[in-house]
Structure 1
Amino acid sequence: MNDTVPKIRIRGLTKAFGSKKVLDGIDLDVEAGTSFVIIGGSGSGKSVLLRCILGLIVPDAGSIEIDGEDILRASPARQEALVQRIGMLFQNAALFDSMSVADNIAFGLRAKRRKEGDHRAPRLSRAAARSQAGDILKQVGLDPSVGALAPSELSGGMQKRVGLARAIAGTPEILFFDEPTTGLDPIMGAVIDGLIVDCVKRLGSTAIAITHDMASAQRIGDRAAMLYHGKLVWQGLASELMHSGDPMVDQFTHGRREGPISMELRR
């Protein structure tokens, strides 16, 4: 029996918007130092789950623990301190168009408070943050000179790399990836996945990724789960996604028109 406290533990998480229940009693453990991938169709609740952990959405019921501490029942200051331990790679990178690449990364560095939420600690100066940004760009395979460019001057793959650089700024204990390969060709998608795996291992971080890309899910994940109608209908090794033996997972991962999901959609 494993008595180790998971890095992230979720129990009975529920969230509804009006009459639509988006999360319906989610139970999930993510062990420290592992990468967990969540798959599921549009509207299945994947993004809502991440936003609940980030504190952007307040769930209706349940608990979300980080290192055994329930963030939903912590004080506002403590909630902020816990969330500060999370880095996020947003879908489409979500870079600030008005800032240079270096300033985008520096923003993440300067916004980061010291561990344990010490609000008295001075923030990093802009000059120091920009200097560090060059080193972080190297970690995602970009020359520091890219820091002088605007996001609009970058290709989609380069924007993803910069988004990853901003996410790992401040060496977060937890990393979230929202559809990290969306809009990329298969080769660049594999490159980004490789960078993600390298960064997670180098930092010793715990990661959660949501994706529709089955190749990406298997490259990034140690374990995986499928969300359907707000419930986790399957959990297992990411390497088993394509041959899980579960009818819903098999239909989704192989993109089959016929199966339990399509039959429900026709009703």
Structure 2
Amino acid sequence: MTLPHPKIRIRNLHKSFGAKTVLDGISLDVAQGTSFVIIGGSGSGKSVLLRCMLGLMAPDSGTIEIDGEDILTTSARRREELCGSIGMLFQNGALFDSLPVWENVTFGLLARKLVSRRDARVQAGSILAQVGLDPSVGELYPAELSGGMQKRVGLARAIAAQPDILFFDEPTTGLDPIMGAVIDGLIVDCVKKLGSTAIAITHDMASAQRIGDEAAMLYKGQLVWQGPAASLMDSGNAYVDQFTHGRREGPITMELRR
């Protein structure tokens, strides 16, 4: 019996900037419907890996497959179609200040002409309700929202097109612990409702365990551990244990930046 392709398959991914190697042979499988969390310190390669998976940055070598199709070698049109099935929650919301909330939420739908402006305004209210916001919030502008509300609007935009894949970049950054837990709960609910495959990068260990099924740690551009997200605090791996418990002593060393 032929086994199904993982939703996302990465093989031997490399990326360097000059003499600095950022991704050093990353190989990773993410199964359909899985919430996968990637942890690691600053400069470990998490953001570069995310940009490569989103098609925003080209790796030097390796493959990135979605449903068995390499997005790096397919045609530009097909790559655009594949990336159209991806929703993204950016670290700082990345909302358009000059647009009302309803237009931020439906921006991708409008840009791809999947909905009229009239229908988009109505649809935005329904999507906002899914993340716990009253439809009337759609008439406000981002500057009128709290940080937690901006995160919810960002999540609403990410799920607006009912994507197959969702990416989350530090979803709880800048939020207090209670609001962080609220956002994590909304993420879990939305992912389950859509049946999406989710990948998140985060420094927040509580968040990682709340939203993740599986987890992996990057260190100096390499995967040093992979396992259940529930095992992050007692993984038995020296790198993961030092990172998750915030210990000064261990195999992870701070490098001088130039």
TM bin, normalised by shorter chain, reads over 0.9
Can you list the C-alpha shifts for 1:89-143, whole angstroms capped at 9, x where unaligned?
A: 000111000001011012122234xxxxxxxxx5311111111000000000000
Can you list the C-alpha shifts for 1:70-101, whole angstroms capped at 9, x where unaligned?
A: 01010010011100000000001110000010
Comparing 41-50 with 207-216, greater Cα deviation is found at 41-50
Q: Take 2:49 and 2:118, find their aligned partners in 1: how far apart are those partners?
A: 36
Verify: 1:241 aligned to 2:221, yes or no. no
Q: Which among 167, 183, 189 is matched to residue 180 of structure 2?
A: 189
Partner SS, residue 3 of structure 1 = coil
Tell me the equivalent position of 1:259: 250
Q: Take 1:87 and 1:106, find their aligned partners in 2: how far apart are those partners?
A: 12
Aligned residue identity for 1:90: F
Tell me the equivalent position of 2:63: 63
Tell me the equivalent position of 2:197: 206
Can you list the C-alpha shifts for 1:201-250, whole angstroms capped at 9, x where unaligned?
A: 00000000000000000000000000000001100000000000000100
Q: Take 1:110 and 1:231, find their aligned partners in 2: how far apart are those partners?
A: 39
Which structure 2 residues correspond to residues 37-76 of structure 1 after superposition, within 5 A? Answer: 37-76=37-76
Aligned residue identity for 1:133: A
Q: Take 1:42 and 1:206, find their aligned partners in 2: how far apart are those partners?
A: 25
How many residue pairs were aligned?
Answer: 256
Question: How far is the alpha carbon of 1:60 from its aligned partner?
Answer: 0.3
Q: Take 2:126 and 2:2, find their aligned partners in 1: how far apart are those partners?
A: 38
Verify: 1:87 aligned to 2:87, yes or no. yes
Q: Which among 184, 189, 207 is matched to residue 216 of structure 1?
A: 207
Aligned residue identity for 1:241: L
Tell me the equivalent position of 1:11: 11
Q: Take 1:183 and 1:55, find their aligned partners in 2: how far apart are those partners?
A: 26
Aligned residue identity for 1:104: N
Question: How far is the alpha carbon of 1:164 from its aligned partner?
Answer: 0.0
Q: Take 1:103 and 1:163, find their aligned partners in 2: how far apart are those partners?
A: 12
Q: Take 1:104 and 1:43, find their aligned partners in 2: how far apart are those partners?
A: 31
Verify: 1:134 aligned to 2:125, yes or no. yes
Aligned residue identity for 1:167: A
**Greater than 3 Å deviation, 4+ residue runs:** none
Which structure 2 residues correspond to residues 124-203 of structure 1 after superposition, within 5 A? Answer: 124-203=115-194
Tell me the equivalent position of 1:105: 105
Q: Take 2:57 and 2:109, find their aligned partners in 1: how far apart are those partners?
A: 24
Name structure 1 gaps, 5 residues minimum: 113-121
Name structure 2 gaps, 5 residues minimum: none
Q: Which among 114, 124, 148 is matched to residue 123 of structure 1?
A: 114
Question: How far is the alpha carbon of 1:3 from its aligned partner?
Answer: 2.0
Partner SS, residue 193 of structure 1 = helix
- Taking only the aligned residue pairs, the percentage that are identical comes to 75
TM superposition score normalised by structure 1: 0.94
Q: Relative to 1, partners in 2 of residues 1:27 and 1:2: Cα closer, same or farther, differing over 3 Å?
A: farther
Computed over aligned residues only, the root mean square deviation of the Cα atoms, in angstroms, reads 1.3
Q: Is this contact kept in 2: 1:14–1:61, CA < 8 A? A: yes
